[in-house]
Amino acid sequence: MSTVLLVVIGLITGALTGFGGGSAVVIVVPALTQFLHIPFRMAVGTSLTVDVLTSALVSFGYAKSGNIQLKRGWIFLITAILGPQIGIWLSHRMPTQWLGLFFAVTMILFGTNFIYHAVRNIPMVSGAASHDPTWKSTVGVVVLGLIIGIITGLLGASGGVMYLLALVYGLRYTIRPAVGTSVIIMAISALSGAVGYSLHHEVYWTAVLIVGLISMVVGYLVARMVPRLPERIQAGGIGTLLFVIGLTMLPQVV
């Protein structure tokens, strides 16, 4: 039964990551803790390790279709390493219920916005700006990236969805480059967190092997398929994912 469950988790995780840059934490942590009774911190460490494997191969799929743009998003790579470590340190020193509530409400609002644009067939943005960022925008991106990284460390996710939102609303990326770029940033962020948990022996390696291998294959195939779909379909799917994540989190933090 546990093997079948891990296979299903891998299928769903790969599809979510390949389609919208979703983190494995949405599926892996609840499934491992509720159905396999894995300790929470070990479930989080396992989720982050799965994210490293899945997002690495998914980002390769997006790169093959030219949908990774790190020219202006590279700064997030630095904050993706530093931020989670700060978040993990803070997680033992402050209550996180208010932060979880803020995150849940934010996901619902942004999800609604994505769905609105998909239904009305309105592009999320007119396209990424062609000029280099100013020092003010660079500082803003650094601060935003650190905040996302800290939230990532506090909540135990790898920040894929949050980096996606930052790229779309902060750096004016269009949907597909935003997803592709956020996935590769998510891989770095997840690696930063996974190393910390593995050093404390809080990774369930059997789950990593089964879930990780399946989600890698499924995620790559979905990433290669996405460019053939209308962008409004992807925007609507991502919006639905954000909305569901927010609704799922609300009962846990209210």
pLDDT tens digits, one per residue of 200-239 = 888 999 999 999 999 999 988 988 888 788 878 877 887 8
pTM here is 0.73
Instruction: Give the span between the Cα atoms of 63 and 59, in whole angstroms.
Output: 6
H or E, element range at 193: helix 175-199
> Residue 224 in 3-state DSSP?
helix
The larger pLDDT score, comparing residue 5 to residue 136, is at 5
The domain of 154 spans 2-253
CA gyration radius, the chain: 17
Domain count along the chain = 1
The larger pLDDT score, comparing residue 6 to residue 80, is at 6
The larger pLDDT score, comparing residue 252 to residue 162, is at 162
Report pLDDT for 150.
Answer: 80
Q: What is the mean pLDDT of residues 13-30?
A: 77
The fraction of the chain above a pLDDT of 90, given in percent, is 11
Nearest alpha carbon to residue 17 among 191, 185, 207: 185
